[in-house]
A and B are shown apart, each in its own frame.
Chain A
Amino acid sequence: MLSRFVLRRLASSALKPHNFRNTSTATATSTTSATATDDFDFDDFEELISDVTSIKHDSTQTFAKLLRESKFVQLGDFDGRLVIGNIVHRVHDDLYVDFGMKFNAVVKAPEDDATKYTIGSRVLLRLRDPELSEKFLGSKRELTLLEADASLVKLLGGGQGPRRRTTTPKQESQPPAKSVEPSES
């Protein structure tokens, strides 16, 4: 739908524009000759813009639907999944990485290129466990460590930069700062 809109915007400068609501799936060049008398209504323009931009922000989705379509459910079994996170804190060589789930993962920065792992950098992690918790002998409930278990794969982006800025809104709109590599099993 977006590409058709762009084509017509370009065509309208050269050829006479027509009413968008009455068009079929045909391209701009073929239909302008047939309905050349229709005037371009700027009220429809606003409607069309709002249609295009409001696709992603559906605030009427139920919780069940949001959960079912979330990355959290898509990931399935967490062991071995590749996730992308941001470094939120650093203590010497320990990096605290936020990858979109409840807890941060704590990984060691490698000796070479340790200075490149700054707060705000994007890193690729191999997730093992989103929450480390074990049951100890004699206790009724498990004891949680309040952190995730992951191993560092590589550094992706820098701390500040245009590349990070384009992905930040996506990270914030859904819980994950995670993406699944196609080669993943």
Chain B
Amino acid sequence: MLRSLSLGVARGCSSAGSLLTRAVSTSLPVASGSSQEAIPGIDVEPSADLLRKARVQPVLLKPYVDPVLHNEDHFEMAKEVSIADMFAARVHYGHRIGTLNDNMKWALYGERQGICVFDLNVTQKYLIKALNFLAHVSYRGGMVLFVTSDKANMLMVEKMATDMGQYSHTRKWQEGTLTNTGQLFGASVRLPDVIVFLSTLSSVLERHPGVVEAAKMTIPTIGICDSNAEPNYVTYPVPGSDDSTPTLKYYMQLFKLAVDKGREAREKAGNA
């Protein structure tokens, strides 16, 4: 498990960068006057007056934000996620109606012969959001940790995570993996920038302790939430099946695509 988390720079000094200015080496004068609009491409800090107004109207800061973040679907994940593919990958199968968690009712299309069926239109919407976020994290050079307690598929997840140059944790989750790194690993450890839960439940069908630990450490999480899962502490819940091997393979392929897209965009921006 020590191999899964890399030793390095502590999280506080991570190179994720601030959202407002992008890699500014030469400092430009602060724009004076609240009426002045920032021209995209020129790194200008917003004035104090504008910042005060932006407290109630955050959209005023949009010209100062990196153009990459302007479009919600910047990495065009809507093309990659199709209802037909999700259906073939059995994403719409839920558990029995008797095991339904009340907090997952919003994602269901209904139940058929006692088996919950997910509404793939809802799943598609949330999956696109999650994939875009993952691509953005990869674009900024972030570390992704894939977590699952599914013993049948853990080797596949480990392999695919290594293939995309990221990390995985599929063994028993030790309490304090994220919150007590000093005691568990000795030195200060770089924590992941996003954690992807292939299933938000542990092997005893309770909420995975990693979800709460990530929330405590303010690490955003992407979680595949089945019909018996609790989506409460997950930042980007994706309602769908988390049990069949073809389903998990489908998710991992999409996550790999998102991470690769982000990395390619990063390399392209670095070269340009």
Chain B window 77-92, contacts with chain A (Cβ cutoff 8 Å), 1 for yes, 0 for no: 0000011100110101
Given A63-B109, A76-B113: A144 and B96 within 8 A (CB)?
yes
Q: Which segment of B27-35, B60-68, B217-225, B240-248 sits at the interface?
A: B240-248
Tell me how far the C-beta of B97 lies from the nearest C-beta in chain A, rounded to whole angstroms: 9
A63 to chain B: which residues have CB within 8 Å? 83, 87, 92, 109, 119-121
Which positions 132-181 of chain A face chain B at CB distance < 8 Å? 133, 135, 141-144, 146, 172-175
Interface assignment of A54: CB less than 8 Å from any CB of chain B:
no
Tell me how far the C-beta of A16 lies from the nearest C-beta in chain B, rounded to whole angstroms: 42
Are B87 and A144 in touch, CB under 8 angstroms? no
Chain B window 121-157, contacts with chain A (Cβ cutoff 8 Å), 1 for yes, 0 for no: 1000000000000000000000000000000100000
The interface size of chain A toward B, counting residues with CB under 8 Å, comes to 33
Alpha-carbon separation in the docked complex, A88 to B152 (Å): 11
Interface assignment of A102: CB less than 8 Å from any CB of chain B:
yes
B117 to chain A: which residues have CB within 8 Å? 67
- Count how many pairs of residues, one from A and one from B, have CB atoms less than 8 Å apart in the complex: 76
The CB with the most chain A CB atoms within 10 A, among B94, B98, B100, is that of: B98
Q: Sort chain B's interface into a size bin.
A: 20 to 34
Return the chain B residue nearest A63 by Cβ. B120
Chain A window 113-127, contacts with chain B (Cβ cutoff 8 Å), 1 for yes, 0 for no: 000000000000000
Are A141 and B228 in touch, CB under 8 angstroms? yes
Q: Which of B84, B98, B119 contacts A61 (CB 8 A)?
A: B84
Tell me how far the C-beta of A169 lies from the nearest C-beta in chain B, rounded to whole angstroms: 11
Interface assignment of A25: CB less than 8 Å from any CB of chain B:
no
Interface assignment of B99: CB less than 8 Å from any CB of chain A:
yes
Interface assignment of B263: CB less than 8 Å from any CB of chain A:
no
Interface assignment of A11: CB less than 8 Å from any CB of chain B:
no
A48 to chain B: which residues have CB within 8 Å? none
Tell me how far the C-beta of A59 lies from the nearest C-beta in chain B, rounded to whole angstroms: 5
Residues of B within 8 A of A (CB): 82-84, 87-88, 90, 92-96, 98-101, 109, 112-113, 115, 117, 119-121, 152, 205, 228, 241, 243-245
Residues of A within 8 A of B (CB): 59, 61-64, 66-67, 70, 72-73, 76-78, 88-89, 98, 100-103, 130-131, 133, 135, 141-144, 146, 172-175
> What are 19 contact pairs spanning A and B, CB under 8 A?
A62-B83, A63-B119, A66-B83, A70-B87, A100-B90, A101-B93, A102-B93, A102-B94, A102-B241, A103-B243, A130-B115, A131-B95, A131-B96, A131-B115, A141-B98, A144-B96, A144-B228, A175-B87, A175-B90
Task: Name 6 extra pairs, CB < 8 A, besides A63-B83, A78-B113, A143-B205.
Answer: A76-B113, A131-B95, A144-B99, A146-B243, A173-B88, A175-B93
